[in-house]
Amino acid sequence: DRKREYPKPRSNSPDRHLVPLAASLVARDPGTGATMALKWSEDVGQLVLRSSTKAKDVALSTAAYRTIVPVILHLAELGPVLVIESTRAQAQRTASAVAEAAPSGWTPATVLRDTALALLGPDHELTGVLGKEVAYHHGTLPLDIRTEIEDAVSAGAIRVLVSTTTLTEGVNLPVRSVVIASRGSYQAGGSFEEYIRGATLLNAIGRAGRAAKETEGYVVIAMGPGSGDDHF
């Protein structure tokens, strides 16, 4: 209902429409089973459609992984957040997006950043996100860097850690919240393969809540459009 015309950069540009993207957080009361939806106060992105075909203009639309960044930043104000992504590339992209949007008051994890600078160099993507108390973690990073990242999270020097599911297996990190940002990925033929489910999903969810510090944690699963109560 808020659709509007997208400004034309040139007179011969095709007609497009812009639709602001809203988000809602649907929460369930574990005692009663009742659910309630809380609408996010600000838009989380935009969807741009070609007027003639209704096809999505990918270049002008907000990428899906960026739409969940406001939720991650909000949870980070309550305590450390572990974000689970389905692939290494997605983990790096999401970490970079969180670092870009992080408040100016977020400061570098100094010791960890110095180690990354020495081992990976100033141009490595990890070195950049570490400047805002954000890190990513996956199997292709050197083992000593991964260990340093885990130690930094345990010490409270990292606010947001974006990881593949490899981190949830055998590593007990103290985080307040877990965000399942994606549960699979699109394959070469265009089909979507969901592989963060069952025991893998439960293992990731089980990381929410810091032992000996609090009695509960928050879990947010990004479902996209069309989700409903049956997803619980």
176-213 residues labelled b (16+ CB within 10 A) or e (exposed): bbbbbbbbeeeeeeeeeeeebeeeebeebbebbbbeee
Predicted confidence band of residue 100 (pLDDT cuts 50, 70, 90): very high
Q: Which tokens belong to 29?
A: 């009361």
Mean pLDDT across 64-93: 92
Average pLDDT rounded to a whole number, residues 192-207: 82
Residues with Cβ within 8 Å of residue 158, at least 6 apart in sequence? 80, 109, 112, 133, 134, 135, 149, 152
Whether the CB-CB separation of 133 and 106 falls below 8 Å is answered with: yes
Q: What percent of the chain has pLDDT over 70?
A: 96
* Residues 72-79, mean pLDDT to the nearest whole number: 92
What is the Cα–Cα distance from 122 to 92, expressed in whole angstroms? 16
In this model, does residue 216 exceed pLDDT 90? Answer: no
Specify whether the CB–CB gap between 164 and 86 falls below 8 A. Answer: yes
DSSP per-residue letters across 42-72: S--EEEEEETTT--B-TTTSPPHHHHTHHHH
**What pLDDT, in 10s, does the model give residues 120-169?**
888 888 888 888 899 999 888 888 888 888 888 888 889 999 998 877 66
Confidence of residue 76 (pLDDT cuts 50, 70, 90): very high
pLDDT average, residue stretch 98-111: 86
Q: Which two tokens stand for residue 178?
A: 């877990």
Q: What is the tens place of the pLDDT at every residue in 164-178?
A: 887 766 567 778 999
Q: How confident is the model at residue 82 (pLDDT cuts 50, 70, 90)?
A: very high
- Here the tokens at position 35 are 């659910």
What distance, in Å, lies between the first and last C-alpha atoms of the chain? 28
pLDDT for 22-63, tens place per residue? 888 888 887 898 888 888 888 999 999 998 888 999 999 999
Residue 226: the pLDDT is 65
Task: Please say if the pLDDT value at position 224 is more than 70.
Answer: no
pLDDT score, position 177? 92
Distances, alpha carbon 87 to alpha carbons 50, 76, 106, 153, in Å: 30, 22, 26, 21
What confidence score (pLDDT) does residue 135 get?
Answer: 93
- Average pLDDT for residues 199-207, to the nearest whole number? 84
| Residue found under tokens 């429409």 | 17
Helices (H), 16-169: 64-67, 69-76, 88-101, 110-120, 125-129, 143-154
Residue 214: band (very low, low, confident or very high) from pLDDT cuts 50, 70, 90: confident
- The pLDDT of 97-104, averaged and rounded, is 92
Find out whether 196 and 51 touch, Cβ atoms under 8 Å.
Answer: no
Angle between helices 88-101 and 69-76 (to 10 degrees): 70
- What per-residue confidence (pLDDT) applies to 171? 65
pLDDT of residue 136: 92
pLDDT at 229 over 80: no
Torsion from C-alpha of 159, 65, 119, 173, nearest 10 degrees: 40
